[in-house]
Each structure stands twice: as structure tokens, then as C-alpha cells.
């Protein structure tokens, strides 16, 4: 049995070496947001979508990657963490989607 305790719990990992899928959830070089973040936020506008598995079901990105991105979006105040694995879009997230918030102006919030 292999002990994977040294792997980071903050980054998704499936043991795959394929980089194509990872490019969508990795942050852009010019900031902290990733290409899939807009799609995740749009989906989270739906009152029936509140879990990373909903992002996976919608085909946006894999569940573990979605969970990581949701944590990052919550850290910057675009999503609110309601409970473990449950998120809702915030007013700031709505304003971002309307083009009223520049993500480069956002700072991570303290936990």
C-alpha cells in the first residue's frame, strides 16, 4: 500500500501525466484565475448548482479540479463556502461576471 500523505491536499491530482486537461484549471500566467473559473461562476449562478460535482457533471472540468478552483474562488470572495464541498456565488462573483470587478484587484481573504 502506498502512502500519499506527502501529496498536497490543495492541488488536484489524479496521477495522470496528461497536461491538456490541467491547462484549463491552472491559473493563467498573468494572474490567479484559471480559464474554467468563468464557467464555474456562471454555473454557480444556478440555484441547483452548489457542489464541485455539479461542475464535473456539466463537463466544465473534473470534480477534484473543480473543488480546487472553488476553494480558490472562495478565497478571493467570488464564491462563498456554505459547508464542506458546498458553495454559492457571492455578490462580488455576480459583479465579476457583469464585468464590474477586475480579478487583478482582488486579494485573498483570511480564513
3-state secondary structure of 79: strand
With respect to residue 4, please indicate whether it lies within any of the assigned structural domains: no
CA distances 29 to 32, 33, 34, 56, 108, Å, are: 8, 9, 9, 24, 17
Task: Give domain status of residue 48, yes or no.
Answer: yes
- Residue 30 domain-assigned (yes or no): no
Cα(111)–Cα(104) distance, rounded to whole angstroms? 20
Farthest CA pair distance, the chain = 50
Q: How many domains does the chain have?
A: 1
Report if residue 54 sits inside a domain: yes
Rounded distance, CA 8 to CA 5, Å? 8
Domain-located, residue 44: yes
What is the span of the domain harbouring residue 58? 37-100
**pLDDT (tens digit, 0 to 9) for every residue of the chain, 111 residues total?**
444 434 344 554 444 333 335 456 566 566 799 999 999 999 999 999 999 999 999 999 999 999 999 999 999 999 999 999 999 999 999 999 999 999 999 999 876
Q: In the numeric block, which cell numbers belong to residue 34?
A: 484559471
pLDDT at 13: 46
With respect to residue 59, please indicate whether it lies within any of the assigned structural domains: yes
**Does any domain span residue 67?**
yes
Amino acid at each position: 500500500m502506498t502512502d500519499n500523505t506527502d501529496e498536497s491536499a490543495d492541488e488536484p491530482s489524479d496521477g495522470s501525466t496528461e497536461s491538456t486537461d490541467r491547462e484549463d484549471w491552472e491559473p493563467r500566467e498573468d494572474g490567479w484565475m484559471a480559464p474554467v473559473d468563468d464557467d464555474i461562476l456562471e454555473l454557480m449562478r444556478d440555484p441547483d448548482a452548489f457542489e464541485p460535482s455539479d461542475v464535473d457533471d456539466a463537463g466544465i472540468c473534473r470534480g477534484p479540479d473543480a473543488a480546487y478552483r472553488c476553494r480558490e474562488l472562495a478565497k478571493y470572495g467570488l464564491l462563498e463556502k456554505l459547508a464542506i464541498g458546498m458553495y454559492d456565488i457571492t455578490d462580488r462573483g455576480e459583479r465579476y461576471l457583469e464585468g464590474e470587478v477586475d480579478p487583478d484587484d482582488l486579494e485573498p481573504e483570511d480564513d
